[in-house]
């Protein structure tokens, strides 16, 4: 992703990734075409009914989405054995593969496998999982996805404690000089996007607030702010 920070203008660009979970799956290609002109990537929620209490879709749908768009595809794997499916999702067209730390028995191996596949690698954690679980792996990944709801369903309320986690991630990035992209997923919309971005998020994932909005472009514009987000002074 383009984590552009201009020292002179003091502004940076926030990416908005709609979560397809809130789209109309009977018209998926149309839904994608509708948002494509004004979003930065698509977030695909893969759920297995084991790691999370819901089932969504797998590589077949990712492959169909790949044929419908050139947008970067970020596959959020909420599945019990992600390491077994990396090549399947990469072959289907995933540009970024995000795996939950709670599901990894050998994080080094999984991270290396994702890298070897050619995909960007992201690590994610549930709201109740302590941040020290992901800390050792931050230098090895491209992206940290902070869950701001319990995974499994769209349409939940943003958990405000997530803001502290975003600030923690920014601190880790700064202190250790990491090239880490920080993304946040769950309950994000025009009402809180600015707060999430100002805490330091680079990517905002938003399902309900985009696909269920009466005017999707206006919702995304509102999340970006009328002007680029101003970076708070250190």
3-state SS string for 111-179 = HHHHHHHCCEEEEEECCCCCHHHCHHHHHHCCEEEEECCCCCCCCCCCCCCHHHHHHHHHHHHHHHCCC
Verify binding: residue 101, ligand DX5, rule CB under 6 A: no
SS3 106: coil
* Inter-residue contact 155 to 125 (CB < 8 Å): no
Tokens of 49: 């009914």
Residues in 156-175 that interact with ligand DX5 by CB under 6 A = 156
Member of 110, 162, 192, 208 binding ligand DX5 (CB under 6 A): 208
**With contact defined as beta carbons under 8 Å apart, do 156 and 210 qualify?**
no
Q: With beta carbons less than 8 A apart as the criterion, state whether 147 and 125 touch.
A: yes
Q: Could you tell me if 62 and 42 are in contact, meaning their C-beta atoms sit under 8 angstroms apart?
A: no
Q: How far is CA 147 from the centre of its chain?
A: 9
Pick one of 205, 219, 220, 223: the residue that binds ligand DX5 (CB under 6 A).
Answer: 205
Residue nearest to Zn ion (CB): 76
76 binds ligand DX5 (CB under 6 A): yes
Span of 81-89, 152-160, 175-183, 195-203 interacting with ligand DX5 by CB under 6 A: 152-160
Residue 152 found at the interface with ligand DX5 (CB under 6 A): yes
The reply on whether position 76 binds Zn ion by CB under 5 A is: yes
Among residues 34, 40, 45, 113, the one annotated as catalytic is: 45
Pick the catalytic residue from 40, 113, 142, 185. Answer: 185
The yes or no reply on residue 196 touching ligand DX5 (CB under 6 A) is no
Instruction: Work out how close the CB of 114 gets to Zn ion at its nearest, in angstroms, rounded to a whole number.
Output: 17
Active site residue 185: yes
Between residues 66 and 76, which has the closer beta carbon with respect to Zn ion? Answer: 76
Q: Which is nearer to ligand DX5, 100 or 120 (CB)?
A: 100
3-state SS, residue 20: helix
190 binds ligand DX5 (CB under 6 A): no
- Quick check: 107 and 137 in contact, CB under 8 A? yes
Whether 45 is catalytic: yes
Select from 206, 219, 220, 223 the one that contacts ligand DX5 (CB under 6 A): 206
Residues serving a catalytic function are 45, 185
């Amino acid at each position: 992703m383009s984590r552009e920070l201009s020292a002179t203008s003091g502004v940076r660009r926030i990416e908005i990734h709609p979560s397809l979970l809130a789209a109309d799956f009977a018209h998926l290609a149309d839904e994608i075409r509708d948002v494509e002109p004004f979003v930065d990537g698509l977030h695909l929620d893969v759920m297995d009914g084991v790691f999370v209490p819901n089932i969504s879709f797998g590589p077949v749908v990712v492959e169909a989405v790949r044929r419908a768009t050139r947008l970067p595809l970020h596959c959020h794997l909420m599945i019990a054995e992600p390491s077994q499916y990396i090549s399947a999702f990469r072959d289907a067209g995933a540009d970024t593969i995000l795996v939950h730390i709670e599901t990894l028995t050998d994080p080094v191996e999984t991270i290396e496998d994702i890298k070897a596949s050619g995909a960007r690698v992201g690590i994610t954690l549930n709201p109740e999982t302590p941040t020290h679980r992901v800390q050792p792996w931050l230098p090895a990944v491209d992206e940290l996805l902070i869950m701001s709801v319990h995974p499994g369903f769209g349409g939940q309320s943003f958990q405000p404690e997530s803001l502290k986690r975003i600030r923690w991630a920014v601190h880790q990035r700064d202190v250790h000089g990491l090239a880490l992209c920080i993304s946040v997923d769950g309950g994000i919309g025009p009402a809180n996007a600015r707060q999430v971005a100002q805490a330091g998020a680079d990517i905002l994932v938003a399902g309900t607030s985009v696909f269920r909005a009466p005017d999707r472009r206006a919702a995304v514009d509102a999340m970006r702010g009328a002007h680029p987000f101003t970076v708070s002074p250190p």
